[in-house]
Amino acid sequence: MNGVQIRSAERALSVGTWLIVAGAMLYSILTVTPLMAAHTPARWGWTAPILPLVVDAAVVICVRLDSVLARLGGHGGAWPVALRWMTGVMTLALNTADSGLRKDLVGVAVHAVAPLLLIVTAETGLAYRRAITTAVTALEERQRAERERREQAARDRADAALLRQREEREHAAMLAREQREHEARLAWEAGEREERRRREEREQQAAREQDARAERERREHDREQREREEREREQQAAQQARTEFREREERARRERVALLQRGPAAGKLPEDDARAITAAAFTEGMAVRAAAELCGWSVGWVSARYAEHRDPDNGGAELAIASR
């Protein structure tokens, strides 16, 4: 049953209850007013309808407030029950009093129908309203539970979606982090390879430079060794040349001494011998005349030879020609 059906049932119960209450009140007023007029002084006869109206007003209050409390799920306690039953009993007594005083059982039964129907309707309506309220409350609880279940399911789905999104973001972040770490590792490995290559190139370059330096040092050493050997050879050759020169000089000096120790020539010596004696005399620094006496040639000729020794290129030759 949905809310529309429940509201329709409540309207039917309310309309039926108020129809019964209105009918019972009208019947009670019409029945009780003559009784009250017969038992009221003549000058107060106009007050006869007041009592049934008061009792019926109490009935209306009980029915209305009981419906409100039943709809709200509340309970008024013992006093509303006492008021409800007291008004019902009073209505029954007032409606059946005239017939009871006349000993008319049929009248009592007939006039008891409306009050009894009102009492039973009030109690039944209260029970119905409480049952409807309980059913509506249970239905609302089920609807609320269903709504909460749907909301919880929606929240669960939203949480699951958020969890999936977070997991996807975390997975994407993890993949991106792994990609960055992989790229960083590749870059580091490439850098290491490049550094290792450069280090190897530097080592090879250093080895080549060391080999070249060693080769230069070896060549420099060989060159220095050769130069040292060459200098030693030159020194030996120079020493040998000096030795040979000294030996030649010594031999030439002995030969000159031997030539000069011959003494004055008895006659004019051959030209070659005369030239040799003149050269020896020039070398030893002897005077021209002494040299002329040793070789037997004239002073002019010896002077010409001295001139040749002093200036072998020009002067000596001209002087020789002039002397001849």
Q: Summarize pLDDT for 233-282 with one digit per residue, the tens.
A: 888 877 887 788 778 777 777 776 776 666 676 677 788 877 887 788 78
- Residue (of 154, 34, 171) closest to 102 by Cα position: 34
Cα 201–Cα 202–Cα 207 angle in degrees, nearest 5: 95
The per-residue pLDDT for 70 is: 64
Which one-letter amino acid corresponds to residue 310? R
Position 293 scores a pLDDT of 76
Other Cβ atoms less than 10 A from the Cβ of 24: the count is: 24
Residue 316: pLDDT band with limits 50, 70, 90: very low
Percent of the chain clearing pLDDT 90 (strictly above): 3
Residues 48, 33 contacting (CB under 8 angstroms)? yes
Task: Give, rounded to a whole angstrom, the gap between the first and last alpha carbons of the chain.
Answer: 178
Predicted confidence band at 323 (pLDDT cuts at 50, 70, 90)?
A: very low
Return mean pLDDT, the chain: 77
112 class by beta-carbon count within 10 Å (0-12 exposed, 13-18 middle, 19+ buried): middle
